[in-house]
Amino acid sequence: MRKLAITSLGMATIALGTIALAALAVRDAHSATLIVPPDPSTMGTQALVNNACSKCHGQYGVSASPLFPILAGQLPGYIEAELKLFRLRGRSDPRARAFMWGIARGLTDEQIKGVAQYFSTQPAVKGGGSSNPALADKGKLLYENGAPDRDIEACTVCHGHSGEGVNTQPRLAGQHRDYVAIQMSQYRGGLRENKVMQHVTEKMTDDELAAVVDYVATL
Amino acid sequence: MPPELTAFGRRFKLSGYTLTTRPPLVDDIDDHKKDTLFLTDLPGIAVLAQMGYDHYNRAPPDTGQPYPAHAQSDTFQFPDQFSLVYAGAVSDKVGAWLQLTYNGQAGSVGIDNIDIRYSDHTLDNKWVWGVTANNYLTFQDVWNGIGSYTVPNFNTVTLSSGGVAGTGTSGPILNALGPGSVAGIGAYVFYNDSLYFELSAYHSAVAGGNSPTIDSVSLAANGGAVDRFAPYARIAYERDWGYHSAEIGGSALYVNWVPSVGYISAQQQAAAALAGNTYTPGQTFNPGPINRYTDVSVDWQYQYNGPYNIFSFLGHVTHERQQNSDQLVAATFTGASTPIYTNPTDTLTQFLVTGEYFHNRHYGGLVSFTRTTGTSDPLANGGNGSPANQYETFELDYVPWLNVRFILQYDAYQVVANNQSPFNLSNANFPNSPGFTNVKASDNNTWVLGLWMDF
């Protein structure tokens, strides 16, 4: 038995050596004839969008289900930052774990940039509006002014006057109402980590949360 | 593990399982080389394990022994099924589902479901098309109202004599052409994430034999085989809005089926004659008799895939027309032994409807109702000749994590056809099991405690 083991090990070494030599030979031959510049990514942006992103977020970034955010017109900085967070497993809300951790696992920086560019340049959609104008008005007040007495900052500071977003702070305008509502409740419960958002949502009452969500839906 | 494919899962499957973001194993990859070779760093291998504990309402009789053994009303399947699955990209446009399964009842490891796909799409993804090669008619489907993915999908087949619980219950041939008996190839298009059309053809592919022909050995192993090609067409329309997704579809199948009824080839006949054996005239058919099945089915599925809760409602109505071979029907039977069918044409209609709800994606349950009716054929079915069955499945599920599911299931039978029950209803008294009388359909009622894990 022992003899056999040694023999197979020997065989393996020889085999490995042969493969290595062959690989070297191929590599040499190859570098001499290289014409196409190496592409570091497995998939170009369009292929990624077609084969992966579009399955949930829609071909043009307008998802059908509010489980998945609308990405059309989203700021490229935000998409990039989030994809990098997913890749690092730094964002651990349940749906991020279930879907985006796996998807983003092997993305290169170039791919992330490409995808962010693609979705940010798709035409944005307009919010669905509110069925309760009184509630939306209340939300507008809070959205624009915050509540300084309770240490609640105005949403406009980070998300812009009409929800257009600033740098890596996401665009909210046109987003699925339910998606926004779910995110707010996840920030509040600490399921989605963000110090500012957690602080703000914890200070807000349930009614205030509902009002802001309702107003954001009109943007 | 969520019991049904979501809109996302359907698109993944139709794209040929090719969704991948894995980095390549070798560097210097350019588009040309990518087309010629694709290596994955970590293949998408999954393990699927099912354990089951079944409890029958009544211990079935032991009819085979002069002295009855201690028949139990409980069985453990540990594991009931254990599978290794590779599902993922093989190359850019080719993907595969390859499943190797240890089957608790058979006690052996074998090739299970296989689905290999080539898929491509237009630049804007409006048209997705592909080719599938698979070994299980309906395994390629992406909705759950029909065929191999019909919910309820946790069935532990219990007793060897037909096992009423689960897949042993008689149904249309549309659900029955599986691994080890057929292989097929099909082409499909999916337009605008809504309209699906597929054409496939299945040929017999009997496992375990070295003969590519349909001979008596492979017939006996499978109870029959597909003659030439069985064409299958599928059309479906899906609409997704918000948390909702709805589908309605239809399918049609035509099968020339060679049943296993003592078909003996001319060669075997000659060999037997040489050996000094003779066959009773009428048991020899050459060419073998062929029954013609035409199945037409309508199926539907509605899913609400909400932020917390999931609801689905699905089902199908399948109508089957079975034209029996003249050689096997009583009136036209010319042989010396017994004919197999009473009627030249038999029909079967199966109706299944299932409602399922999951609260918070953790606690769930389902209620399912199945009813099968058909023409009475005493020779084919024994007893009063009815192939009918009717049963409900009630299930409670607990899904603590996405990939672990605890199942408590109760199957309640109101009607069971004679030859499908462990308690063969045509024989109300079992001479070898004294006191075993008053057999009812409800004797088959079964409690199932199950565990299902994917990882």
The model's pLDDT over A180-191, given as tens digits with 9 standing for 90+, comes to 999 999 999 899
Q: What is the pLDDT of residue A118?
A: 95
Q: Do B307 and A36 touch (CB under 8 A)?
A: no
Looking at mean pLDDT, say which of A51-60, B81-90, B155-164, B250-259 comes out highest.
B250-259
Q: Do B29 and A38 touch (CB under 8 A)?
A: yes
CATH class of the domain comprising A133-216: mainly alpha
User: Rounded CA gap, B302 and B354, in Å?
Assistant: 11
Span B210-230, average pLDDT: 72
The model's pLDDT over B392-448, given as tens digits with 9 standing for 90+, comes to 999 999 988 877 889 999 988 888 876 666 676 666 566 666 667 777 888 888 888
Q: What is the pLDDT of residue B130?
A: 94
Q: Name B450's Cβ contacts closer than 8 Å, sequence gap at least 6.
A: B50, B51, B52, B53, B80, B154, B156, B405, B406, B407, B408, B409
Domain spans in chain A, listed from the N-terminal domain onward = 1-38, 45-120, 133-216
A133-216 and A45-120 share a CATH fold: yes
Tokens of A80: 């990039």
In the block, residue with structure tokens 């057929």: B182
Do residues B137 and B253 touch, judged by C-beta distance below 8 A? yes
Pick the CATH number of A45-120 from 1.10.10.10, 3.30.565.10, 1.20.1250.20, 1.10.760.10: 1.10.760.10
Tokens of B132: 């599938």
What are the helix and strand counts (H, E) for chain A? Answer: 12, 0
In the block, residue with structure tokens 């240890």: B102
Domain spans in chain B, listed from the N-terminal domain onward = 7-454
Q: What is the pLDDT of residue B115?
A: 93
Amino acid at B36: T
Q: Is the ipTM of this complex over 0.95?
A: no
The CATH architecture of the domain made up of B7-454 is Beta Barrel (2.40)
Q: Looking at the predicted structure, is the pLDDT value of residue B10 above 70?
A: yes
Q: Which of A111-115, B9-13, B254-258 has the lowest mean pLDDT?
A: B9-13
Q: What is the pLDDT of residue A22?
A: 38
Q: What is the pLDDT of residue B19?
A: 59
Higher pLDDT, B205 or B338: B205
Q: What value, to the nearest 5°, has the Cα angle with vertex B369 and ends B365 and B375?
A: 160
Q: What is the pLDDT of residue B419?
A: 63
Q: Choose among B303, B322, B321: nearest CA to B312.
A: B303
Tokens of B231: 């064409």
Residue of B nearest to A179 (CA): B307
User: Rounded CA gap, A218 and A136, in Å?
Assistant: 8
- For residue A192, list chain B residues with Cβ-Cβ distance below 8 A: none
Q: Name A131's Cβ contacts closer than 8 Å, sequence gap at least 6.
A: none
Tokens of A71: 């990405």
Higher pLDDT, B191 or B438: B191
pTM, whole model, 2 decimals? 0.81
User: Rounded CA gap, B425 and B419, in Å?
Assistant: 8
HSE of B77, CA atoms in CB hemisphere, 13 A: 28
Any idea how long chain B is? 455
CB-CB neighbours of A36 under 10 Å = 11
The model's pLDDT over A135-182, given as tens digits with 9 standing for 90+, comes to 999 999 999 999 999 999 999 999 999 999 999 999 999 999 999 999
Interface test with A, best of B121, B125, B129, B245 (most A CBs within 10 A): B125
- For residue B307, list chain A residues with Cβ-Cβ distance below 8 A: 66-67, 178, 182
Output the CA–CA distances (angstroms, integers) from residue A136 to A143, A182, A208, A218, B174, in the order listed: 10, 18, 10, 8, 54
